[in-house]
């Protein structure tokens, strides 16, 4: 499920998925053959200085735009159209059921009226949009509509960063929906295409671990925990006398003293597995479900060697590291080994790049 905000034109012949997270800027450009197969044209990752983005808010627009500009230069592309995303925490969403067969204008009136009831600030301060999801589950005479609203300044900040970097935002999405678009590619890699199975998608970023549990495309549970890769970066900074930025850069390059792996990385991954195990216990105790068939690890922390084995050992659940690019062709500009190492951190950027192929 993906969503446009109608202030933008969602149609663009060439499109870059641009993901601005709290630790880095990530870009992905895909091409298609018209038959459902994709080719990875190019991708780039540019580390952000600390506190440029905090809790999903862009604190330093100039620094963020400079990082986006550098990432775009690394891509070496002529494409300037980008799909960008807002953090889910900045978007209020609600599903409503309405009578089928209504005109677009009538739906708009209904959506505004409904939005008035649950948005805690004046409508003139928000960007509001809706998407018809399809027939209502309970009645063929009704349709299900997804409403999304975000404060205008949240939208404008991300637009301003892209435009300051010389790019043109043409699609605005929600990060969680972009990740789900890439997740659909990963589901196909599971036994039976994941059908009938309960799958936990765990996105572990710099500050937050997001757990989403699905079965057959339906979300069963969602939970956010304060745990992320910045904890390891701080440990590296203290242990080896580096600045936070230096520690982050060396961590990404895997260029640290020998004792790093045993004294810092391994204990961090054990903590990660424990946090995830606790999050799954919350899922079991607050729903009627008592098992998970597969865990899919995504986000920056999932690129660490051995994380899948440590999580599988702790949870006793089949665990894989997300790679939405499996089966895609690669252009001459993309090195397979590098892409495999970075793939789990490119979920949102890949999902945004897929918007190019929306009907």
DSSP string, 271-333: HHHHHHHHHHHHHHHHSS----SEEEEESGGGGSTTHHHHHHHHH-SEEEE--TTTT-EE-TT
Residue 170 phi/psi, 5-degree rounding, is -120, -15
Angle formed by the axes of helices 230-240 and 244-253, nearest 10°: 110
* Structure-block tokens of residue 341: 């190492």
In terms of C-beta distances under 8 Å and separation of at least 24 residues, what long-range contacts does 286-293 make, across chains too?
286/221, 287/220, 287/221, 289/198, 289/213, 289/220, 291/198, 292/198, 292/199, 292/200, 292/213, 292/317, 293/197, 293/198, 293/199, 293/317, 293/318
pLDDT for the residue 359: 52
45/343 Cα distance (integer angstroms): 11
* Structure-block tokens of residue 1: 């499920």
- Per-residue confidence of the chain (359 residues) as pLDDT tens digits? 344 444 334 444 689 999 999 889 999 999 987 777 899 999 999 988 888 998 888 999 999 999 999 999 999 999 999 999 998 888 888 888 888 888 888 888 888 888 888 788 888 888 888 888 888 888 888 888 888 888 888 999 999 999 999 999 999 998 988 998 999 999 999 999 999 999 999 999 888 899 999 998 888 999 988 999 999 999 999 999 999 888 988 888 888 998 999 999 999 999 999 999 999 999 999 999 999 999 999 998 998 989 999 999 999 999 999 999 999 999 999 999 999 999 999 999 999 999 988 75
Global pTM value = 0.88
Per CATH, domain 92-152 is 3.40.950.10: no
pLDDT for the residue 109: 87
CA nearest 225: which of 275, 273, 185?
A: 275
Q: Do residues 75 and 43 make contact, with C-beta atoms less than 8 angstroms apart?
A: yes
pLDDT for the residue 9: 41
Fold of 190-321: Nucleotidyltransferase; domain 5 (3.30.420)
135/119 Cα distance (integer angstroms): 25
* CATH 3.30.420.40 domain extents, the chain: 16-89+153-182+329-357, 190-321
pLDDT for the residue 333: 94
122/151 Cα distance (integer angstroms): 10
* Superfamily (CATH) of domain 16-89+153-182+329-357: ATPase, nucleotide binding domain (3.30.420.40)
pLDDT for the residue 96: 85
What radius of gyration, in Å, describes the C-alpha atoms of the chain?
A: 21
């Amino acid at each position: 499920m993906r969503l446009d905000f109608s202030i933008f034109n969602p149609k663009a012949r060439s499109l870059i998925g641009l993901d601005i997270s709290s630790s880095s800027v990530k870009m992905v450009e895909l091409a298609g053959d018209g038959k459902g197969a994709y080719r990875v044209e190019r991708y780039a990752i540019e580390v952000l200085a600390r506190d440029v983005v905090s809790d999903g808010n862009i604190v330093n627009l100039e620094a963020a735009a400079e990082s986006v500009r550098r990432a775009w230069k690394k891509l070496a592309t002529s494409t300037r159209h980008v799909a960008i995303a807002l953090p889910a925490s900045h978007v209020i969403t609600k599903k409503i059921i309405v009578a089928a067969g209504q005109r677009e204008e009538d739906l708009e009136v209904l959506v505004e009226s409904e939005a008035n009831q649950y948005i805690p600030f004046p409508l003139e301060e928000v960007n509001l949009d809706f998407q018809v999801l399809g027939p209502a589950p309970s009645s063929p005479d009704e349709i299900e509509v997804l409403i999304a609203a975000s404060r205008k300044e949240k939208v404008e900040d991300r637009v301003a960063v892209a435009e300051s970097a010389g790019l043109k935002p043409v699609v605005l999405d929600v990060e969680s929906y972009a990740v789900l678009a890439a997740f659909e590619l990963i589901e196909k890699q599971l036994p039976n295409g994941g059908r009938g199975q309960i799958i936990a998608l765990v996105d572990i970023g710099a500050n937050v671990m997001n757990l989403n549990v699905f079965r057959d495309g339906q979300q069963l549970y969602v939970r956010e925990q304060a745990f992320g890769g910045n904890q390891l970066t701080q440990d590296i900074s203290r242990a080896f006398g580096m600045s936070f930025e230096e520690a982050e850069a060396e961590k990404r390059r895997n260029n640290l003293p020998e004792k790093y792996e045993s004294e810092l990385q391994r204990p961090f991954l054990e903590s990660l597995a424990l946090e995830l195990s606790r999050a799954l216990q919350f899922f079991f105790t607050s729903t009627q479900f008592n098992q998970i068939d597969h865990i899919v690890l995504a986000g920056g922390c999932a690129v660490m060697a051995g994380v899948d084995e440590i999580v599988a050992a702790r949870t006793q659940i089949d665990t894989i590291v997300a790679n939405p690019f499996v089966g895609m062709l690669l252009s001459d500009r993309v090195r397979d080994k590098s892409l495999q190492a970075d793939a789990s951190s490119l979920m949102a950027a890949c999902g945004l790049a897929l918007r190019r192929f929306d009907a």
